[in-house]
């Protein structure tokens, strides 16, 4: 896939081979979560349209929602100015957070 | 400041003492950038209301916009479910990106 290899060239993976990926709901613009991708996660996400991440704790590839059913369908894929962060606009099925909340950012702090 | 120390306790800084912080425009909901914070950056941001980050390349604290004037005023501060990512809703003065673009995520990839 020409596009996938072109996109991978734009990404500056860190010393662990990872890049942070922000998932944002494509319609509500709500920021849902941040997770990490390696090269393989990017490839699988682009080839299947289903968002895949790299689990740092389990050291394995996971398809978001593979156990919960709360999958993410990729709608738009952005690489930031210096290539070290991704922004994914996604169609989120069900809650994004493992707690059952719609987004992982449900804890607003008073300051 | 009681609130600041309470908030700091919710944050799981990584092995480098850093946490990624997503800046989102408080009114347009546009995702503007991702940068890193250490403990001091969080403290300065909460105490001044001006967003501060930690520069990994320069190894120093910086107030966003200190040279460009493109400051960020903190409006809302969120800690995610497991404490390892921050979401800041900000009032962005001028472009967020050093390239002059409104957001660092101006490169949309076709896939």
Q: Which residue of B has its CA nearest to A9?
A: B109
Percent of chain B with pLDDT over 90: 97
**Contact predicate B54/B34, CB 8 Å:** no
How far A61 CA sits from the closest chain B CA (Å)?
A: 19
| Cα angle value A32/A12/B15 (rounded, 5°) | 70
Note the pLDDT tens digit of each residue in A79-98: 999 999 999 999 999 999 99
Q: Do A20 and B24 touch (CB under 8 A)?
A: no
B1 pLDDT higher than 80: no
> Which stretch of DSSP H or E encloses residue B77?
strand B72-79
Nearest by Cα to B71 from B108, B32, B18, B105? B32
**Contact predicate A26/A92, CB 8 Å:** no
| Count of CB pairs separated by less than 8 Å, A with B | 97
A1 pLDDT higher than 70: no
| Stated pTM of the model | 0.97
B2 pLDDT higher than 90: no
Q: Do A46 and B7 touch (CB under 8 A)?
A: no
Note the pLDDT tens digit of each residue in A59-84: 999 999 999 999 999 999 999 999 99
**Cβ of A58 under 8 Å from any chain B Cβ?**
no
Query: What are the residue ranges spanned by the domains of chain B?
Result: 2-92
**Cβ of A91 under 8 Å from any chain B Cβ?**
no
Residue owning tokens 């290899």:
A5
Report the mean per-residue pLDDT for chain A: 96
A105 pLDDT higher than 80: yes
**Nearest CB partner across the interface for A110, out of B3, B29, B109:** B3
Q: How far apart are CA A102 and CA A98, in angstroms?
A: 9
Q: Do A77 and B30 touch (CB under 8 A)?
A: no
**Cβ of A99 under 8 Å from any chain B Cβ?**
yes
ipTM of the complex: 0.96
> Which stretch of DSSP H or E encloses residue A17?
none
Task: Please report the pLDDT score of residue A2 as a whole number.
Answer: 61
Class of domain A2-92: alpha beta
Which residues touch A54 (CB under 8 Å, ≥6 apart)? A18, A35, A36, A37, A38, A40, A41, A60, A61, A62
């Amino acid at each position: 896939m020409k596009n996938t290899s072109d996109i991978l060239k734009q990404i500056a993976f860190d010393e662990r081979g990872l890049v942070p990926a922000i998932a944002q709901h494509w319609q509500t613009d709500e920021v849902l979560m941040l997770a990490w991708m390696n090269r393989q996660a990017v490839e699988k996400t682009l080839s299947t349209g289903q968002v895949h991440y790299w689990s740092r704790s389990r050291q394995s590839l996971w398809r978001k929602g593979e156990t919960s059913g709360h999958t993410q369908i990729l709608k738009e894929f952005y690489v930031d100015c210096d290539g070290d962060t991704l922004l994914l606009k996604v169609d989120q099925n069900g809650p994004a957070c493992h707690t059952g909340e719609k987004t992982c950012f449900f804890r607003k702090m008073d300051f």
